[in-house]
């Protein structure tokens, strides 16, 4: 298990890739980050599996 994982998820607004560094040691997370292309706020939801692998979802801020 890596403590930091690099993941890429599409922006729910413009579809461009958002490259994120996920801290797997922090456990499940939810935070807001602006898309680097369209600058709209995106809710990032991170779920860490029992084996330490992150699952990352990008949602529109208003969802």
pTM of the predicted protein model: 0.88
Smallest CA-to-CA distance from 1 within 24, 27, 20, 22 is with: 24
Read off the pLDDT of residues 1-38 as tens digits, 9 standing for 90 and up.
Answer: 578 999 999 999 999 999 999 999 999 999 999 999 99
Q: Residue 34 half-sphere exposure, CB side, CA atoms within 13 Å?
A: 5
50-60 pLDDT, tens digit per residue, is 988 899 999 99
Domain that holds residue 27: 4-60
Return the structure tokens found at 2. Answer: 């890596």
The sign of the dihedral angle between the CA atoms of 3, 27, 52, 32 is negative
Total number of domains in the chain: 1
Cα separation, 60 vs 63, in Å, equals 5
Q: Token pair 């599996």 is at which residue?
A: 49
């Amino acid at each position: 298990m890596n403590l930091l994982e690099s993941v890429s998820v599409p922006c729910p607004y413009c579809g461009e890739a958002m490259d994120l560094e996920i801290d797997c040691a922090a456990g499940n997370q939810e935070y807001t980050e602006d898309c680097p292309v369209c600058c709209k706020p995106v809710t990032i939801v991170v779920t860490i599996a029992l084996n330490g692998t992150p699952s990352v979802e990008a949602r529109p801020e208003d969802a």
